[in-house]
Amino acid sequence: MQKNARAANNREIERKFLLRWLPDKLQRSRCYIIEQGYLASESAGRQVRLRKKGKTASLTFKVGRGTHREEREIRLSPKQFAALWPGTAGRRLRKVRCEIHWKNLVIELDIYQGRHAGLVVAEVEFPDRASCRRFKPPSWFGREVTGEKRYSNVRLANE
């Protein structure tokens, strides 16, 4: 499990926002490059994703849309990753992810590269439903886009 906040029972509870402006804290945050691609995706948000984050490769299964999703993830060896990665051709994206600590949460800022350069999206993962509901976004957050297909990674990768 790569995420900092992780709900039990293979559920991720997450909200997604556009930004009004980039926060000052960004300069002091930890950033890394993520490359990901999709082996298969169905319309109901069911998907199998391959991801490389630094030297760490993983395969993630997700199903569902919106705030609550089922998520199952395994680490892949470099050899496993290399065997599957060509299957994602034409369905890939690249982004810089920066982790910003904010109150008790970690905000993940995704700064898209390539075709989607200019797009920045913030994701917040919650340990439970209550904290998800209670969440008051910081001033630099813009419109919430949780569950909007237009901003789903699988859609962005396929465009």
* Footprint of a copy of itself (CB under 8 A): 10, 39-42, 46-48, 59, 61, 63, 70, 72-76, 79-80, 83-84, 86-87
Other CB atoms within a 10 A radius of the CB of residue 142 amount to 14
- The nearer residue to a copy of itself, 15 or 71, going by C-beta atoms, is 71
Rounded Cα distance between 52 and 27, Å, is 23
Q: Give whichever of 29 and 80 is closer to a copy of itself, judged by the CB atom.
A: 80
- Contact between 58 and 76 under an 8 Å Cβ cutoff? The reply is yes
CB of 83 to a copy of itself, least distance (A): 5
Which amino acid, one-letter code, is at 54?
A: G
- Cα distances (angstroms) measured from residue 153 to each of 2, 45, 50, 57: 17, 11, 12, 17
Least distance between a copy of itself and beta carbon 47 (Å): 6
- Give the max Cα distance, the chain: 44
> 15 vs 49, which CB is nearer to a copy of itself?
49
Q: How far is the CB of 46 from a copy of itself (least distance, A)?
A: 5
38 is catalytic: yes
